[in-house]
């Protein structure tokens, strides 16, 4: 089955700097890659996603890139703010109506 690895497990950045989180997946049939943000004690919130027919997607300060050949995808957060502090999870699935396989999570701390 699918296996998703996520790095780093923790990331500490100064406010205003950029944060980058990387994930790799094993199943070449996967074609949907969402990113979730989870604050302490809260639900995972979908913040951005990318499908295999595009290589990059941007939404304000967050962007995701996908390299299907290498089977890895990354989340980029620019101009980080304290409210960006949370745990971020990447995930992969094969198609609509399929389970998400999650990475282990990255705890991001933005220091003011």
Partner 1 sequence: NAGVMQNPRHLVRRRGQEARLRCSPMKGHSHVYWYRQLPEEGLKFMVYLQKENIIDESGMPKERFSAEFPKEGPSILRIQQVVRGDSAAYFCASSPETGADEQYFGPGTRLTVT
Q: How far is Cα 6 from Cα 8, in angstroms, rounded to an integer?
A: 6
- Provide the minimum distance between the beta carbon of 97 and partner 1 in the complex, in angstroms, as a whole number: 6
- Please name which of 87, 85, 98 lies closest in space to residue 15, comparing C-alpha atoms: 85
Using CA atoms, how far residue 59 sits from 16, 47, 52, 105, in Å, is 17, 9, 17, 21
Q: What angle do CA 94, 7, 78 make, to 5 degrees?
A: 95
Does residue 25 interact with partner 1 by CB under 8 A?
no
Residue among 69, 83, 96, 112 that touches partner 1 (CB under 8 A): 96
- Provide the minimum distance between the beta carbon of 89 and partner 1 in the complex, in angstroms, as a whole number: 6
- Provide the minimum distance between the beta carbon of 84 and partner 1 in the complex, in angstroms, as a whole number: 19
Residue among 51, 58, 61, 111 that touches partner 1 (CB under 8 A): 51
Does residue 93 interact with partner 1 by CB under 8 A?
yes
């Amino acid at each position: 089955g699918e296996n998703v690895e996520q790095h780093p497990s923790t990331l500490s950045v100064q406010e205003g700097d950029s944060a980058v989180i990387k994930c790799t997946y094993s199943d070449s049939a996967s074609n949907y890659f969402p990113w979730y943000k989870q604050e302490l004690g809260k639900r995972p919130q979908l913040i951005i996603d990318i499908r295999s027919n595009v290589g990059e997607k941007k939404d304000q300060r967050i962007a995701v890139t996908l390299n299907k050949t290498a089977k890895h995808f990354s989340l980029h957060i620019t101009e980080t703010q304290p409210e960006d502090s949370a745990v971020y999870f990447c995930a992969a699935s094969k198609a609509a109506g399929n389970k998400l396989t999650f990475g282990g999570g990255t705890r991001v701390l933005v220091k003011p």
